Amino acid sequence: MSKWDARLRVVEPVGTTPVPPRLREVPGPSIPVAKSVAKLNPYIPVSSQPAIEALRGRTPIFKLDWNESTIPPSPKVQEALSHFIAEGAELNWYPELGSKNLVLALSDYTGLHPDYLIATNGSDDALHLVCASYLDSGDEVVIPVPTYNHFVTFAQSRGAKITTVCGEDPFDSNIPAIRKALSKDTRMAYLVSPNNPTGVIYERDDVEALCKEFPNTLFIVDEAYFEFSQMSVISLVREVSNLVVTRTFSKAFGLAGLRVGYLAANPDLSQGLKRLYNPKSVNTMGQIGAIAALSDLPYLNTYLDEVATAKELLRAFFQTRPNVEAWVTPANFVVVRVPNVGKVLDRLEGLGVYVRDRSSYPGLEGCLRMTVGNVHQTQHVIDRLAKAF
């Protein structure tokens, strides 16, 4: 078996663990959920996992639907975790409170003083913490769309009033339209940079100007894909105290399974966040893994170079397809518009290539989003794309 045959995502066989019978039926009616939550639909994780499991063993799988890294993290992560296990795996103790050592490592990585940094259980946890700490019912939140929808749920769960901004071109930052939607009453605004799924970048000058023009508004810049773009506003948190930048280890660092993220904010703001922050939120293995990942930036950089080259291969491939429009984003994904997206998705799935349907997003009719992996993987992906496009 070649190295490539060890597929992108190895999954265990299903059906080996018997499902335990319910101990008793749950009597209804249950206690009603909070009013702000009752309006929300349950999160249905759209995932290729069941299909991947069904295909297991028959064909190599390309799991390109969640923008994870397509290779395992630095070997230093495995070494550090193995060492922790070998030394007795003292998981009986709570993790280091406030992820002190991880925050110190992040301080080196970001160039910010530790007082500006809070480690979280994935960056979703950071987004949730900001909403829980700074939103009350009825507060106005401005969100340019299309974007990462999970934040909308967090804001709605606080009873916030959401104003979406849909500019004429979804692949433009549409700053004038955002500015128009903001007012002195806007409590919060959420900008993803590079944006998922369009790859739009919010430039530092624009973010700085907005923060200064709307001092009553807390701006969140979600930089989950920063490493791929190398464009950041994080140093702005030193200058303005109405900005939170969130980041994650789930993407370029390849630690999605460990759930580690962080936020950066002026201490004025983070004092507010620390009222609700749970200092136990990053588990011990997560802290160890993230510190080890930060200790191997050459590994990260090699992967970033690979993804950059692979994006060019994809760009060249899509240029050979006259009916296809492709946007190669500054993140680790491309957006592709095709005449019949449903058919293409089915064909790709039949070929073991799992991508994300984004055609219901405003401005993205007919579009799918596809994660970009390393060069070797992408060459194989292109062989299959050639059969589907």
311 vs 384 by CB, closer to ligand PLP: 311
Q: Please tell me whether residue 123 binds ligand PLP under the rule CB under 6 A.
A: yes
Which residues, 6+ apart, have CB-to-CB distance to 21 below 8 Å?
Answer: none
d(CA 228, CA 134): 30
- 332 binding ligand PLP? (CB under 6 A): no
Pick the binder of ligand PLP from 65, 139, 140, 222 (CB under 6 A).
222
Long-range pairs of 294-298 with CB within 8 A, sequence gap ≥ 24? 294/105, 294/106, 294/108, 294/109, 294/253, 295/74, 295/76, 295/105, 296/74, 296/75, 296/76, 296/77
Q: Does 289 bind ligand PLP (CB under 6 A)?
A: no
99 binds ligand PLP (CB under 6 A): no
Q: Which is nearer to ligand PLP, 192 or 273 (CB)?
A: 192
Choose the stretch contacting ligand PLP; rule: CB under 6 A; options: 31-39, 48-56, 121-129, 344-352.
Answer: 121-129
- Give the nearest distance from C-beta 200 to ligand PLP in angstroms: 11
- 148 belongs to the binding site for ligand PLP (CB under 6 A): yes
Characterise 261 by phi-psi region: left (phi > 0), alpha (psi -120 to 50), beta (else). Answer: beta
Structure tokens at 323: 């009916």
Torsion of CA 280, 284, 289, 295, to 10 degrees: 80
Q: Are 306 and 374 in contact (CB under 8 A)?
A: yes
Is residue 196 close enough to count as binding ligand PLP by CB under 6 A? Answer: yes
Pick from 224, 237, 265, 294 the residue near ligand PLP by CB under 6 A: 224
Choose the stretch contacting ligand PLP; rule: CB under 6 A; options: 55-63, 88-96, 116-124, 297-305.
116-124
Neighbours of 51 (CB within 10 A): 13
The CA-based angle 244-105-372, given to 5 degrees, is 70
67 binds ligand PLP (CB under 6 A): yes
> For residues 71 and 324, which CB has a smaller minimum distance to ligand PLP in the complex?
71
From the list 32-40, 44-52, 118-126, 312-320, the region that binds ligand PLP by CB under 6 A is 118-126
Contact residues: ligand PLP, CB under 6 A: 67, 122-124, 148, 192, 196, 222, 224, 248, 250, 256, 261
